[in-house]
Structure 1
Amino acid sequence: MDINKILTADILDLIFEGRNKEYGAYDLRKTYKKRLIISVTSMLAICLLVFLGSVLAKYVVPEKQTQILVEDVSLADVKQDEKKPEPPPPPPPPKVEPPKVEITKFTPPKIVKDEEVKPDEKPPEQDKLDDTKIGTINQEGEKSDVIAPPVEQSTGQVEAPKAQVEDYDKEFKTVQIEAKFPGGSGAWTKYLERNLNSNVPVDNGAPPANYTVIVSFLVDKNGNISEVQALNDPGYGTKEEAVRVIKKGPAWTPAVQNGRNVIYRQKQSITFQVSEG
């Protein structure tokens, strides 16, 4: 290279002086800045397009908003399968009273003086005994050869009904004092709202609507929760989410019947509200 051109020559020309510039290394280094500018500009343009697209999508396609409603459910609110009433039993046949038979009271014979015999203790006449039956009382009726049944005389005493023994190990649906969550219903509602994932239906593609799950569970004598099961399934993962949160719930205050802790069936309604943003 001419000595006068060294001061104005590019450093690449000095490095590749006398070498094969057609090999490719020279061209790569020569166009490096141009390629760097193009790549950086392209990357910034793509990032800008993605950002603008996400901003516009919020205005064109609004996001779905979800909300959870927790409501108490009484046993009467849940419709069970209605049982057809059984037909009434047939009326009992009319009671037929047996015909009364004439009875003459038999008086055991005693040897006493005539003046000491009382009128009701006089023995019946022999001819009357031929036409009537002998018994323990005097009774008017038909003369018959059928032996009259003995007449029972009531003592006037009525036996009191036997007291039923309450089974306190069974499952109670109605009690004197219902099971309660520590802190009351307000604390139970806060527990559910804090632990339930309200985005479950949206994440599973649920359209805007209300999805209500009714969950049934037992509170035992110690207040522990068991047998958690959903009575319905609106879909989109709402049933599984409601059962999951109630299963891991803390212990309750048990229900009381006649002063004893009993097993109580509790029901809870949880509504997932999905609406357009």
Structure 2
Amino acid sequence: MEAKKTQKADLRSKHGLFLNIGLLISTGLALAAFEFKSHSTVTVQDYELRSDPFEDILDVPITTHQVPEPPKVEQPEINEVPNDKEIEEEFEPLLNIEFPQEPVIHSPVLPTAPPIEDKAEEIVDFAEKMPAPPGGMKGWNNYLSKNLKYPRQAVRQGIEGTVFLAFVVNKDGSIQDVEILRGVGGGCSEEAIRVLKNAPDWKPGLQRGRPVRVKMRLPIKFKLN
């Protein structure tokens, strides 16, 4: 069975009133707590004035140092000697040295002078008058056409090209130091060297009217007909 309550004992209708009353009381207590002031008693102790121990320290006087003056240097007295007064000097006597009656004099051996190098032996790249083959370039072409043989290996392989040679023309027109600057295969380079070495003497180069050794460069062309 359910317990029956009277309407006067039912407090749910007064819930809002009790809530507001509780909020009001809690707010009042909080404000009272913030406004509450506590006072504490502080005992003031009398401290005796004590003297500062540093006051007993004596003041150190400032000392000044005087820089001593440098000693005076006495200059030596200079006695002037008049020009007309003769100064006497004492000389020791010379020792008597005996020489043989006939001193032997050895003639110094003079070194032999180095041989004078003839600058004409030097090889130059250019001269006032350059070397030339006999008969000029026309004579050189005739010589090549008669003596130059096309290598068989180059003919079979169809090799063509130009061989560049370097050589020295001596003062007598002879040819030496033949070398290849740029060669062609198939035996063409070797044939060009052979033809040049077997060539007749050239006309030597002249520098100030004197023959000189000149280094030359010459192309020899190989071409199949």
Structure 2-normalised TM-score? Answer: 0.45
Higher RCO by CA contacts (8 Å cutoff, separation 6 or greater): 1
Structure 1-normalised TM-score? Answer: 0.37
